[in-house]
Structure 1
Amino acid sequence: MDRAVTRGARPGRRAVPQWAWKVALAFSAAIWGGSFVVMKDTLDVIPPAWLMGIRFLVSALIVGALFWRTLRDNFDLSHLVMGTILGVASGSAFVVQNIGLDDTTPGRNAFLTATYCVMVPFFNWAVTRRRPEANNLVAAALAIVGVGLVALGDDLSLIMSGGDWLTLAAAALFAVHIVLVARFSSAHDVMTLTVVQLAVSALVALGTAALTETPPDPAIFSSADVWLSLAYLVLLSSCVCMVVQNLGQAHVPPAQASLLLSLESVFAVASSVIFYHELVTPRIAVGFGTIFVAVLVSELLVRRRD
């Protein structure tokens, strides 16, 4: 998920109160949290890469149509190159995450993905030579403890599935993507980059699907449930939430915005327990909580320094 920020409201327009943007960001986190359960069910009929390819392709067309004037005014070779780099990173992250989701539960997938927040300062160090602070080290240690609590059985045996390991790999890719967004967005139009990123992400996913997966059976598209799931993932998770996130972060202090968005993993577990009947033992609950605290520690430090 991008941490990009768009320009503020245009002069002459009535300002939206900050509390409304905070509510909108929390609502976006809830939608993203619910998407883990929606994707888990949809993966039963549509392979992961095909699902992501369809999602990003339709999202790119919709967002491109909505912001076509911005795209027309700003699109150039630099936006194409930078947007392509972002699209490769983002598309790869989502494909790996969703392949992992096929072999784990929505709650585990959400909280293991959330460790990307802890990884960002260390990837940023590699790019900018800006050393992580003490709180980043504490957050990393907490994340390792949290993942250990989630991954180890009662007899301390490792019970990480292949899907769990893929989810951690996806978290690393998300961290790389966030660092790249921070470097590219200051000198480029964010919405133009976003449209290019979505289109390239679609190509990455569809290319992966063509090489590794069997196309979905056309008959599944006669199901209303499939169309409802796709509508949720495309219209809500991709189009609405992405625009709300970018605009909201232009009006809410970064630390508060990041904390509101990090609620995604909490909503994901709640949705998984309610709708997917995921069993959360006390040990796993403590592990989830430890990972969430690690995210808060990391995000509070990073955003206060911005």
Structure 2
Amino acid sequence: MSEPPPGQPPQISGQHNVSEHSLLHWRIAVPFVLTGVIWGSTWWVITDQIDGVPPSWSVAWRFLLATPAMFLVAKLMGKPLGLGTKGQLLALAIGIAQFCGNFNFVYRSELHLTSGIVAVLFTMLIVANATFGWLLLGQRITRNFVIGTVIALGGIALLLLHEAQLSPLGGNIGLGVALAVGGILSASIANVVQANETGRGLPMVSLLAWAMLYGTIADVGLAWFTAGPPELPVRASFWLGIGWLALAGSVVTFPLHYTLVRQIGAGRAAYNGIVVVIVAMILSTLFEDYRWTPLTGLGAVLALIGLVVALRARRS
């Protein structure tokens, strides 16, 4: 049997049982759901992080805490920290794209759009990941994946329509959307390139520790350049939020997510964005008096149906 393209598991003709690369396998399902639930909470937390604090400094504080924690995790797991020249260059690329570009785009986007709108827009990461995975890693996009994606995006459009009607947006809407798209592309590039041949040969937590370090250096430089020297916020809620975003939202979730990218492909891994949106909306229902309507109910159902169709699609 010929070797599969990079990042794809081998397929066995006639195999219909649950494989280790299926979402139905607990090793895939548990981190998939866990990352979705944790990241679903972060959109709500970020709104407090940019309240009176320059977005770039908020991002910098987050990763100034997360980076040493990730190195500690690598040390406790006994993973080597040496990456070699190619590994360091890969970590640099991931750090700039994911831990600087992505987060700075996202935080700034929430200055112009509501957190729910940005969370919904970010489900487009599904399409970006699948496209870059096809272009850069040779991961084929199946017909069922396309069908599932179209169904899910239809549901997302309904959720987006209701959110726009419920909460008229202030600020520069076009700029907010452009910034969100910048965040999506940055995150997608990082998702896909870490699953290349060099990345698959490196310990995940070690690669992420170095990537976070490079991203943090860039974050601090960007914050100092755009907002001047740091001013420490005094709000307890800000620092509690930083702790949650840095430790749960970064140190716990990124190793799980990037491992999923390697196991099931960048396109399907991005589908935890649907879980993220649903969790974010549940939190809005509980804490922000979000009102469900037939429109949002239909949107949520369509998104979940699309999720199931796409995730059950076998890859060639």
SS of 1:99's equivalent in the other structure is helix
Q: In the TM superposition, what whole-angstrom CA distance separates every residue of 1:232-278 from its partner, at most 9, and x where no partner exists?
A: 1112111233345567x59x988998766752221112112322344
Q: What does residue 237 of structure 1 align with?
A: 249
Quickly say closer, same or farther: Cα 1:48–1:290, change in 2 above 3 A: farther
**Which range moves more in the overlay, 166-175 or 224-233?**
166-175
Quickly say closer, same or farther: Cα 1:189–1:25, change in 2 above 3 A: same
Q: What does residue 89 of structure 2 align with?
A: 81
The percent identity for this pair of structures is 21
Q: Following the alignment from structure 1 to structure 2, what is the Cα–Cα distance between the partners of residues 264 and 82?
A: 27
Q: Give the TM-score normalised by the residue count of structure 1.
A: 0.75
Root mean square deviation of aligned Cα: 3.6
Q: What does residue 122 of structure 1 align with?
A: 131
**2:186 partner amino acid:** L
Describe how 1:145-184 pairs up with structure 2 within 5 A.
Answer: 145-146=154-155, 148-149=157-158, 161-162=173-174, 163-183=176-196, 184=198
Q: What does residue 207 of structure 1 align with?
A: 221
SS of 2:113's equivalent in the other structure is coil
Q: What does residue 73 of structure 2 align with?
A: 66
Is 1:227 the counterpart of 2:234? The answer is no
Q: Following the alignment from structure 1 to structure 2, what is the Cα–Cα distance between the partners of residues 227 and 25?
A: 27
Q: What does residue 34 of structure 1 align with?
A: 41
SS of 2:52's equivalent in the other structure is coil
Q: Give the TM-score normalised by the residue count of structure 2.
A: 0.73
Q: Following the alignment from structure 2 to structure 1, what is the Cα–Cα distance between the partners of residues 83 and 253?
A: 23
Number of matched pairs: 281
**2:120 partner amino acid:** F
How far 1:295 moved relative to its partner? Answer: 4.6
Unaligned runs of 5+ in 1: 5-17
Describe how 1:216-295 pairs up with structure 2 within 5 A.
Answer: 217-218=231-232, 220-221=233-234, 223-245=235-257, 249=260, 262-278=274-290, 282-283=294-295, 286-287=298-299, 289-291=301-303, 293-295=305-307
**Which range moves more in the overlay, 271-280 or 231-240?**
271-280
**2:43 partner amino acid:** F
Contact 1:139–1:295 (CA under 8 A) maintained in structure 2:
yes
Unaligned runs of 5+ in 2: 1-6, 8-24
Contact 2:159–2:300 (CA under 8 A) maintained in structure 1:
yes
Is 1:104 the counterpart of 2:104? The answer is no
SS of 1:305's equivalent in the other structure is coil
Is 1:53 the counterpart of 2:66? The answer is no
